[in-house]
């Protein structure tokens, strides 16, 4: 004869501490992601530990416009969210909550977090086409929190979800004096953070002015900086490459602070499979055409204006139209559009790519300094040598 087996739940505080621990893991993960996001944009030598490949790269995810939500990094919203859950867990652990209250609210919050995780995972898969290991950790934490909230409600709650949600809200309202300060402090901190958070991801170069010499070398390459330079830095760059933009703007700032020392020479190396033979599959699609547009601008003595504009627009992930570019730079829009098929302009870009291939450049950015090639970044000792 079969007997009905009765499931005996673990003590309530085992579940409570499991949720608290998971929330702390998510909070720590989000803090690291927030720091990493900041360093990706501000530290020229930074590379996160999970920048492993094209497919698994936390830095690529941080560099995408999808890493920003409502004018703050998604990681900062994660810190805020986990901090809010910790407040709720603290209340749920109080004697007055009686092992029942607040868990329906926690369920709704974690359900929202889990839904957001699904959306962000979809964005990583189909729009960014790169995964962040630590982001995946946060997705797992969110789903685990949702499961625990569901399990605790199932084991300890005695009403339906909607009824318990109403009771949770009423419970907090009745204890507003007891918990009001915590909530008020939390929401005040959120509003202050949101209103004052710096837009460090909007990287901009120093403004071009008549005080900064620029021109075209005898070989036909655009340069900016010292006319009689102590150090000449030739950059091979791609307008859709985040590190190229970041390093270029850093070098421009360095040049502006040392106008009598440094000259930057720009050469094109689009990692576009339609232009660069070392790229075997679609990558940085369209960067070859951007290089062609900047070569045309160089013929009109507006290379550096076009250069900065292309980096800025590409960095924001916005579509680029030749009419818009022509209007901003006061160029002939028809000529600019036709420049993409101009043989002499195409030859210039192909020649730069051929030179880069010959130098053994396999990615961008790359720098030629005193006969040596440096890929990805310029070593700190070379920067020190330039400054000294």
Query: Which H or E element spans position 369?
Result: strand 366-369
pLDDT tens per residue, range 235-264 = 999 999 888 998 998 899 888 888 888 999
- The alpha carbon dihedral of 181, 186, 188, 189 has a sign of positive
Separation of alpha carbons 198 and 34, rounded Å: 13
pLDDT at 6: 61
**Count of alpha carbons within 13 Å of 35, Cβ hemisphere only?**
9
Give the pLDDT of residue 4: 60
Indicate the pairing of strand 372-375 with strand 231-237: unpaired
Please report the pLDDT score of residue 256 as a whole number. 86
- The answer to whether the beta carbons of residues 153 and 103 sit under 8 Å apart is yes
Pairwise CA distance, residues 247 & 342, whole Å: 30
CA angle 48, 257, 253 (to 5 degrees): 40
Higher pLDDT, 293 or 64: 293
Tell me the per-residue pLDDT of 275-332, one tens digit each, with 9 for 90 and over: 999 998 888 888 999 999 999 999 999 999 999 999 888 766 666 788 888 999 999 9
Identify the helix (H) or strand (E) that includes residue 180.
Answer: helix 176-196
Nearest Cα residue to 376 out of 387, 388, 386, 364: 364
* DSSP assignment string, 130-154: -B-HHHHHHHHHHHHHHHHHHHHHH
- Whole-model pTM: value is 0.82
The answer for residues whose C-beta is within 8 angstroms of residue 122's C-beta and 6 or more apart is none
pLDDT, one tens digit per residue, over 147-183 is: 999 999 988 877 888 999 999 999 999 998 888 889 9
Which among 210, 280, 250, 283 has a CA at the least distance from the CA of 383? 250
Please count the other Cβ atoms lying within 10 Å of the Cβ belonging to residue 367. 22
Contact 373, 357 (CB under 8 A): no
Structural domains of the chain, ranges and CATH numbers in brackets: 12-196 (1.20.1440.130), 214-387 (3.40.30.10)
Is residue 269 within 8 A of residue 356, CB to CB? The reply is: yes
Q: Tell whether the model's pLDDT for residue 24 goes beyond 70.
A: yes
* DSSP, res 128: I
The structure tokens 């070593």 sit at 379
Asked if the model's pLDDT at residue 71 lies above 60, the reply is: yes
| DSSP 8-state assignment for residue 6 | P
Say whether 60 sits in a helix, a strand or coil. helix
What are the structure tokens assigned to 373, written together?
Answer: 């090639």
Phi, psi for residue 250 in degrees, rounded to 5: -65, -45
Q: Please tell me which residue, 379 or 31, carries the higher pLDDT value.
A: 31
């Amino acid at each position: 004869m079969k007997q009905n087996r009765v499931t005996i739940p673990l003590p309530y505080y085992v579940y409570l501490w499991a949720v608290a621990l998971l929330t702390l893991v998510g909070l720590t993960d989000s803090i690291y992601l927030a720091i990493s996001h900041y360093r990706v944009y501000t530290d020229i030598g930074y590379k996160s530990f999970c920048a492993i490949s094209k497919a698994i790269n936390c830095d690529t995810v941080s560099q995408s416009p999808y890493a920003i939500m409502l004018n703050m990094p998604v990681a900062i919203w994660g810190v805020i969210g986990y901090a809010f859950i910790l407040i709720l867990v603290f209340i749920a652990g109080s004697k007055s909550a009686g092992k029942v209250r607040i868990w329906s609210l926690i369920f709704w919050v974690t359900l929202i977090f889990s839904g957001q995780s699904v959306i962000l995972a979809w964005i990583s898969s189909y729009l960014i086409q790169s995964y962040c290991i630590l982001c995946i950790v946060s997705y797992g934490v969110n789903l685990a929190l949702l499961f625990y909230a569901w399990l605790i409600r199932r084991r300890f709650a005695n009403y339906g979800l909607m009824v318990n949600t109403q009771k949770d809200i009423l419970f907090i309202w009745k204890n507003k004096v007891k918990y009001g300060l915590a909530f008020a402090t939390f929401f005040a901190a959120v509003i202050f953070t949101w209103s004052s958070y710096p837009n460090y991801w909007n990287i901009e170069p120093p403004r071009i002015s008549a005080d900064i010499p620029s021109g075209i070398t005898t070989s036909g390459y655009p340069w900016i900086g010292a006319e009689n330079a102590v150090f000449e830095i030739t950059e091979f760059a791609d307008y859709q490459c985040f590190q190229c933009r970041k390093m270029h703007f850093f070098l421009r700032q360095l040049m502006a602070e040392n106008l009598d020392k440094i000259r930057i020479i720009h050469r094109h190396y689009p990692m576009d499979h339609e232009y660069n033979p070392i790229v075997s599959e679609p990558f940085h699609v369209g960067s070859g055409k951007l290089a062609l547009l900047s070569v045309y601008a160089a013929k009109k003595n507006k290379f550096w204006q076009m250069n900065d504009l292309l980096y800025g627009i590409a960095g924001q992930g916005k579509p680029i139209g030749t009419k818009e570019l022509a209007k901003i730079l006061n160029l002939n829009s028809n000529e600019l559009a036709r420049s993409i098929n101009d043989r002499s302009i195409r030859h210039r870009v192909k020649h730069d790519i051929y030179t880069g291939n010959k130098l053994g450049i396999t990615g961008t950015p790359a720098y030629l300094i005193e006969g040596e090639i440096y890929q990805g970044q310029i070593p700190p000792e070379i920067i020190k040598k330039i400054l000294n």
